Structure formats: structure tokens, C-alpha cells
Structure 1
Amino acid sequence: MADHADGDGVDIFVYRGGRAPQHVTHVRIDKSVEVIEENAFRDCKHLVQETHDGIRLVGVRSFYKCNSLRRINLKHVVEIGEYAFYQCVSLESVEFGDNLETIGQCAFYGCRSLQHLNLPSIITIGRGAFYKCNALTDIELSERLETIEAHSFWECKRLQRIAIPLKRILIPLDDIFRRYNQFDGCDQLITVNLVGWIHKTVASLHMESWRNEMQEEIHRINQVLPDAQTRDKTDEIKQWMDSVLDKMDHYKAEHYRYVKEGTNVLELALWKAKLGEKEEKSVDGRSKKAKVDADSARKGKRITCGADVVIKNVLPFLKLD
């Protein structure tokens, strides 16, 4: 269906589902549409497209080789299918929102004009999702991110910085080539920043020397990457992440040991304070006759001194995430 825009006489195709005509240039997605179907605008080489906030799913190859597409609003989209924006070479700006969780294989392959990437809620980035996005310079990824598949950012030659969460399985091995290659070919990649829990946990460590050592290890990657070979950058990032996690696990265990020792000392102090209380006096001022032996009395003090509350509540509260 085609409508006429006011004033300029431009034909606007109103998309309500199915496959759009390849000759369309201006499109408005109807408010009733939540899913842009598979191949919906495939090879619409002159498309300038508009969306609305109700789109939830962008289907497989839905904007495949839309060479003139420059901007798109995906701020309520949850999933982007495989090859959805494959070789949209003019695509400069994509507005991702807080709902996007999955980007499929090769979804933005060859989008050579895309410059910045902010994915605040992403969980999975598929194989080759941003392969050869040569204009990308900066990437902000979600602390919810669980997987960056093989070749995801391969040959993003201008990429300088990435912000990623610290997770041991974030960068899986390529089953085909038997190596880590997510950032291979990123010649200018020199900075990795960590997002999420790590900074709060480091700041909570018991010893200042531990905190300093962890900070040095976290920043070490930014000293290594500038001199790393292009094909080794992903390996360096993977090894570094494992090293940071190993050190963090060690210091968390040490922190917990110190906290437990401190809690035991506090428990003993509470117990001894209870033992030091004065004996209860009878009405005539004389001490009551003990009805239990000394050992039983000490056990009773142990129960009533509050130590059980300390062990049950204080120790877990001080344990690091």
C-alpha cells in the first residue's frame, strides 16, 4: 500500500507484513506490525525506512543488501535475525534499546559505515555478526552478555576500544578453526574496559595490596594489546580474562578466610563477655546455688551470647560476590 506524504509528493509504502516491492524508497511500518518478516525488504536497494516503537523481531535477511539504508530505530527490538542487515553498506546509525538480547549470525556483516555500537542489554552475539564493519571505533557491550561467537568482530580494522563483562565462557573456541578469533584483524584495538561486578568486588577486598594487584592485572591488557599481532589479539584477551578471574578467585577465598577468622574472634569475645557477667543474686542477697555444672553453664553462655546470630548473618553478608 502506498500513501502520499504531505507537501513533497513522496510515495510512502506502508508495510503491514509480507514482502515489500523492491522499488520502494520510503517506508513506514504500520503500528500493527511487531515482526518484520523474513526477506521483507531484501534487495530494496533504494530504501529509506522508518520504524515504530512496537517492533519486537527483525527477521532473517529482512534488510539484506539495502544499500541506501542509513539509519534505523530498533530500540524495542528483542531479537535480530541472521543476515538481517547483511551488507547494508550505508548504514551509519542504529538505535539499540534496553530490550535487545540476541543478534544472529552475520546480522550486520559488511556494514562498513557503522561507527559506534552500544548494546546495553545484549546476551548473545552470533557468529560473524559485525564481520568487516570497518568504520566501528568503539563498542559498549552489556554486563548481561554471555557469548561472543567466533568471527563476531573480525576485521573491524578501525576498532580501538571495547567494553565487555568479565566471564570465563564469554569468548568460546571456534569449532571450525580451533582457535579464538572474535577480534582477529582488529588492527587498532588497544583498549579493553571491563563492565559489571568486578570493580565493586575489587574495591571490597580486605587488603590494600590485593586491591592494587587486581587493579594492575585488570589494566595489564591495555599494555599488551598495542604490541600484539593482529591474529593474536583475541588470544591475548582470552588469556588475560582467565588470569584476572583466577586472581580474583584466589583473593576472594583469602578475603573469606580473613573474614571467617575475624568472625570467630568476635564470637569468642561475645562468649567471654557473657561468661564474665555477675552471678544472679537471691532475694536475701546470697548467690543462687548452681543447678548445673560448669561445662553446662559455659555451653549455655555460648548459646545466649549472640554468636549464632553473628555466624548466621554477619559472615554471609561479608562474603564477596
Structure 2
Amino acid sequence: MVTINDIAKQAGVAKSTVSRYLNGGSVSQKTKEKLGLIVAETGYIPNTFAQSLKAKKTAIIGTIIPRLDSYSANEVLISIDEGLRKKNFQLLITNTNQNSEREIESIYSLASQKVAGILLFATVITEAHKKAIADVGIPVILLGQQAEDLYSIVHDEYDAGFKIGKYATHLGHKNFLYLNVFEADVAVGQLRKKGVLDALKETKDSTVKMIEISFTFEKAYQQVLEVLPSVKASYIICATDNIALAVLKAAHQLKLEIPDVFSLSGFGGYQITTVVSPTITTVKYAYQELGQIAVKNLLLLLEGSTIPKKTVLKNKLIKNESTKKWN
């Protein structure tokens, strides 16, 4: 592996000269051209982390994610990583297992590691979150959640919920089961749910039963196995595709045919919803676009530029085999 020492020896200059060149410091034009050729020929890749530790302004972005098995977070992370690499930034990822206290600890921890900024996939936003963000004094952007006076990039959760609710009633369904997540989650537990319920209310005589379900697939599956045998609804709306997949597995286990016994839909647009049978009706979210905007906005903040406090992304209803008309 080529080092700064190797570059310096080959160029016949001091190591400090190579370091200044790599960090954009003052180097003569002749030396700059010579070093540029050597770096290109050797394929030298600077150690961004080591450089950042010495610099006042680092080239590392911290990202706090809720779960390692989150499809949505991983899709956004792929886009973020790609965008940051193009701008010569590195990504440092911290997992919190949906623990809000660990989220707060991670904000302080990443700041102590001199990251330039933080992209936070928060489960909830508490006063402690707001205090931590104010304390660290570096740019922080919320992804998927929003809070007053904080920068955020969110999906149009209400619209997504309304789309599913409207589609379900259009198919003639009146008896619904809504499998929701914990209410403290504003984006999914509140806004998405409100969109669904408001759409369902537009149809007279519609009834909705609500049950809180885990985000994680295995826990959701175990919960649904107990729920499904007594379900009377003709349409089950799941707050996430993960929950919808758990319902699909449980229905198969219990020999309940979808959509003949009940229709099923989720939210997210996970790729696996197009692979299973029946394919699952869902609302597809713009995960890659979210990552692209997150990188763009954070780098603008680092440059001292102004960005919108809140950016809202559109979504799209995807009609698949798990839903049908109800007579």
C-alpha cells in the first residue's frame, strides 16, 4: 500500500510538502504537477480519517440508524455513501436498535469524534434530542422525522396513508384491520395512520380495528400469528412492508389465502414485495432521492449556505396481487 512517505521519496520532497499538497495547502506549481502525476501513477488514496483527525474541518459524516436490518435505512445509506464518496467524504455509521437514549448518546459520541455533520434517522424526537443537537454545534439533519426548528427531510406520510385508504375503499372494502407501530413515532405511528383513517372515514359504514405491532419482522410475525385466526376484516393495512410480509408469512402458515380471505397492503415499496407471492400492494418511497438530498443539503450547510428547514418527498401507490375488489 502506497504511503505519503513513498510519494515524498519518489518526488524528492519532504513529507510535509506532500501533506500540504493533499490538503490543498501552499505548494509551488512545479511541485504540484509532479506530485499530481505520482499520485495518479501510484493510485495513492489519502487516509481521510487520519487527515480529519488533524484538521479543524473533517471529511467524515456521521449517520445514526435505528436498526441494522432496516430496508429503508439501508436504501438511503447506499445513496448517502455514494454521494459522499463523490465529494471525498467518508461515512461513519452508528446503530441504536431503536433506542432513543442511544440516539442521543450517539450524537455526542460522533461529535467527539470530530465528524463534520450528522444525518439522523431518529425513531422519535425528544427535548433531549434537541438539546444534544444544540450542544454539539455541528450541522444535523433529521431523516424520516421532523421537529420544529430542526432541519429535516421527510416522506409525505399523510399522503401515503391517504392513498392506501382511498384505494382500499375504492375496491369496496368497509371492514379494516390497521396494524400500526408505536404512537410516539410521529411519521409512521401518527401521520401515516391519520392519512389512512381520514380516507376510510369518507366511506360510510366503514369500521377500523387498530392493533400495535412491532417494527421487526420476527416479532411482528409472532404477534400476527395470534391475531389472524380471529380477524373479521376484509382488508388488512400494515404500517410498513415489514409488517405486511409478516402477515403474508403468518397467513401462509394458517392456510389463509390472500387476497381471497382478506386483501393486504403495506408502506415502503421494499423490493421483496415484488418477489413474494402474492406480490404486495404498497406505497413506494423515494429512498435514494432522500439520500441524495441529504448529502446535498448537509454539504451546503457545511459551506455556510442556506437550505430549507423541511423537504418533503413524494410517493407512489403500487397496486399488486395482494388486493382485490370486495363484493
Higher-Rg structure is 1
Q: TM-score, normalised by structure 1?
A: 0.28
Identify the structure with bigger relative contact order (alpha carbons < 8 Å, sequence gap 6+).
2
Q: Which has the higher helix share?
A: 2
- Structure-2-length-normalised TM-score: 0.27
